[in-house]
Amino acid sequence: MYHGALDTITDLAGVLERFWGYSSFRPLQRDAMDAIIAGRDSIVVLPTGGGKSLCFLAPALVRDGVAVVESPLISLMKDQVDTLVGNGVPAAFINSTLSSDQRRTVTEGVRDGRFRLLYVSPERLVGEGGDSFRNWLSKCNVSFIAVDEAHCISQWGHDFRPEYRQLASLRAQFPGASLHAFTATATARVRRDIASQLALKDPVELVGSFDRPNLLYRVLPRNNLKKQLQEVLARHKGDGGIIYCTSRREVEALASWLTESGVRARPYHAGLDDRERSRNQDLFLDEEIDVIVATVAFGMGIDRSDVRFVVHAGAPQSLEHYQQESGRAGRDGLEAECVLVYSSADFMKWRLMLERNGELTDSACKLLRDIERYASSVGCRHRHLVSYFGDTYEKDDCGACDYCLGELESMPGAVDLARKILSCVARVGQRFGAAHVANVLCGSENEQVMSRRHNDLSTFALLKDSAVPEVRGYVEQLLAQGFLRQTDDAFPVVALTNEGVELLRNPAAAPGLALSRQRRVVREREQRRSRVEAEAWEGVDRDLFEKLRGVRMQIARSRGVPPYVVFHDTTLREMARLKPQTMDSLRTIYGVGARKAEDLGEEFLNALRGHG
């Protein structure tokens, strides 16, 4: 473990450069660190990939004593601490995975002042036996306490955990230590609840931009899920990715199908036994597999930084959930793709499940309507997400979503188009599903249509120049916009709402109505890259980058740590762009701190010098 010049570095900029290899602060990082240095309580909301952890890690090396980091991520604490130790930071963790000897080593080290950071779980701090642990810790010169994933303390947050409520007792037990709440997602209401529950004193409140400019957002109405997944996977061969499903059964089915298709994939859900679930997570973190197919049980705090795509094979239950889950892509700041594949049936399923559990409150209904509105909207995805979280989006064109990349087109005559669809729903007696309505409108002569004589209807083949999936997409949009509704029967049918009836009677009833479709691109033409992706690869020698990835993997395996613990892709790409040949020039590369240069520099320089 590195104990080097820790005592001689008293400024945050020096700590940042020596231990992490960064020469500047990201937005709000310095303000968050200054609050800790000043001993003021704080609430910090920074999006995933915004450098949130560094806000409490760097000050721990400047202040005297040990900083306590409360984190619910027991399965990842070892990797987090390994990363810190690899950077030369004296850090340790205590949780249920340690043997009694290992725990004794850590407690002695904390007591003797050998560590500056101690990671603990909420169960260890406030669970059964927490009193004696807190009593011991209160004698160990705690400098401050950082509560990570702090939204878990709020019943208004999207991942409420009742045990977090007990963290309020920390204020009384550690009166001399400041308290700091960190989260990637929190509305104003959740922030107020966090401050109240933790009994924060006049906290500094810092809320970063919710925009993730490196993420490319796409939304697709679900028609042929496997084909839609194949198109995403084709853009990301060999890349790390997460596919979220709404049921365990779908997780298992898709993971099996991907494996049979030659993709290195594994399932992850709460129904697997602990050992298999943990093994699959480790395989993903260690880059032994590329894709994890998971329920939302997977993901909080996942530190694999090079996740290049996240697909939701079904809508989540809120935009907060979507922001958090899609945000696991591109944590290294490099380009990544987030795809939502949805159907109106997804929202019906959530409503039924929440109703069954007695959780279908007005608030839950509003959250569902918000994600439904996002899915069916025609406009910039970045602007929609940022506006939802209370920010203003200044750019006219994000250059990183299906709308701004020209992959969607607004349909001319949207009102006439909508009225044709509504009329067809009425003509079939409001007794059939969206697929049947689309088949009638497109002029399909299948048995369902012909046997019911729906080919004789005036609405038959009204949209014969459109593909069935395209018309299904319009139906989904009309459902989301409230002109149609879907019943909750075993075989849901679509029916007119009062707004739909009014639009049929009066074409002027919905002047702002808009419908869109996927642009009919020439099949051979590759989808446009986002602006961020083009910039991120500019000047990078791709062959050298792959060679450096090989060196990183070799080091990671020999040391038994995930590859991202060695270096992030951001650092490897900069090496492959600038091609440093000396130790001094290597130290100028983003993410290469002094300790990493001393420890790993020669191995990477050998690869760089040997590249023809």
CATH number of the domain where residue 145 is located = 3.40.50.300
**Average pLDDT over every residue of 29-39:** 95
What is the pLDDT, as a whole number, of residue 289?
96
Would you say residue 367 lies in a domain? yes
Percent of the chain scoring above 90 in pLDDT = 57
Answer with the one of 207, 231, 252 that is the final residue of a domain: 207
Least confident of 53-62, 106-115, 290-299, 341-350: 290-299
What is the pLDDT, as a whole number, of residue 297?
63
4 pLDDT above the threshold of 50: no
**Average pLDDT over every residue of 121-144:** 84
What is the per-residue pLDDT across 195-206, written as a single tens digit (0 to 9) for each?
999 999 999 999
Would you say residue 527 lies in a domain? no
**Average pLDDT over every residue of 436-464:** 95
Q: Comparing C-alpha atoms, which of 235, 276, 479, 273 is closest to residue 372?
A: 479
| Band (523; pLDDT cuts 50, 70, 90) | very low
Q: Are 74 and 97 in contact (CB under 8 A)?
A: yes
What is the per-residue pLDDT across 61-114, written as a single tens digit (0 to 9) for each?
999 999 999 987 777 788 889 889 988 999 999 988 889 999 999 999 999 999
With 0.85 as the threshold, say if the pTM is over it: no
The two three-digit tokens of residue 473, written as one number:
């997409």
553: domain CATH number is 1.10.150.80
31 pLDDT above the threshold of 90: yes
The more confidently predicted of residues 295 and 260 is 260
| 52 & 90 share domain | yes
520 pLDDT above the threshold of 70: no
5 pLDDT above the threshold of 80: no
| Band (37; pLDDT cuts 50, 70, 90) | very high
Would you say residue 201 lies in a domain? yes
| 401 & 433 share domain | no
What is the pLDDT, as a whole number, of residue 245?
94
Would you say residue 337 lies in a domain? yes
Alpha-helical segments (H) within 27-71 = 29-37, 54-60
What is the pLDDT, as a whole number, of residue 6?
47
What is the pLDDT, as a whole number, of residue 298?
63
| 269 & 180 share domain | no
| 240 & 173 share domain | no
What is the pLDDT, as a whole number, of residue 378?
76
**Average pLDDT over every residue of 277-292:** 92
User: Which residues, 6+ apart, have CB-to-CB distance to 190 below 8 Å?
Assistant: 151, 154, 156, 157, 183
Average pLDDT of every residue of the chain: 88
Would you say residue 526 lies in a domain? no
Question: CA 244 to CA 293: how far, in whole Å?
Answer: 6
Residue type, 441: L
Answer with the one of 407, 439, 454 that is the final residue of a domain: 407
366 pLDDT above the threshold of 50: yes
What is the pLDDT, as a whole number, of residue 163?
75
The two three-digit tokens of residue 510, written as one number:
């919905």
**Average pLDDT over every residue of 158-184:** 84
Buried residues in 277-292 as b, exposed as e (16+ CB within 10 A): beebbebbbbbebbbb
Question: CA 491 to CA 315: how far, in whole Å?
Answer: 19
- State the burial class of residue 412 (Cβ atoms within 10 Å of its Cβ: 0-12, 13-18, 19+): exposed
| 57 & 194 share domain | yes
**Average pLDDT over every residue of 246-272:** 95
Q: How wide is the angle at C-alpha 243 spanned by C-alphas 341 and 240, nearest 5°?
A: 125
Question: CA 482 to CA 384: how far, in whole Å?
Answer: 19
What is the pLDDT, as a whole number, of residue 612?
65
| Band (190; pLDDT cuts 50, 70, 90) | confident
**Average pLDDT over every residue of 362-380:** 85
Would you say residue 491 lies in a domain? yes
| Structural domain containing residue 432 | 414-518
Q: Which residues pair with 92 in a beta bridge?
A: 118
Answer with the one of 164, 186, 207 that is the final residue of a domain: 207
156 pLDDT above the threshold of 80: no
| 498 & 362 share domain | no
Percent of the chain scoring above 70 in pLDDT = 94
The more confidently predicted of residues 215 and 155 is 215
| 200 & 222 share domain | no
315 pLDDT above the threshold of 80: yes
| Band (503; pLDDT cuts 50, 70, 90) | very high
| 281 & 334 share domain | yes
| 110 & 49 share domain | yes
Question: CA 586 to CA 594: how far, in whole Å?
Answer: 10
| 56 & 192 share domain | yes
370 pLDDT above the threshold of 50: yes
| 256 & 328 share domain | yes
Q: Are 117 and 67 in contact (CB under 8 A)?
A: yes
304 pLDDT above the threshold of 60: yes
The more confidently predicted of residues 531 and 70 is 70
| Band (1; pLDDT cuts 50, 70, 90) | very low
Quote helix, strand, coil % in the chain, to nearest 5.
Answer: 45, 15, 40
Question: CA 300 to CA 30: how far, in whole Å?
Answer: 25
484: domain CATH number is 1.10.10.10
Total domains in the fold of the chain: 4
| 293 & 380 share domain | yes
Q: Comparing C-alpha atoms, which of 240, 303, 330, 278 is closest to residue 562?
A: 303
The more confidently predicted of residues 313 and 516 is 313
Would you say residue 20 lies in a domain? yes
Would you say residue 122 lies in a domain? yes
**Average pLDDT over every residue of 405-433:** 94
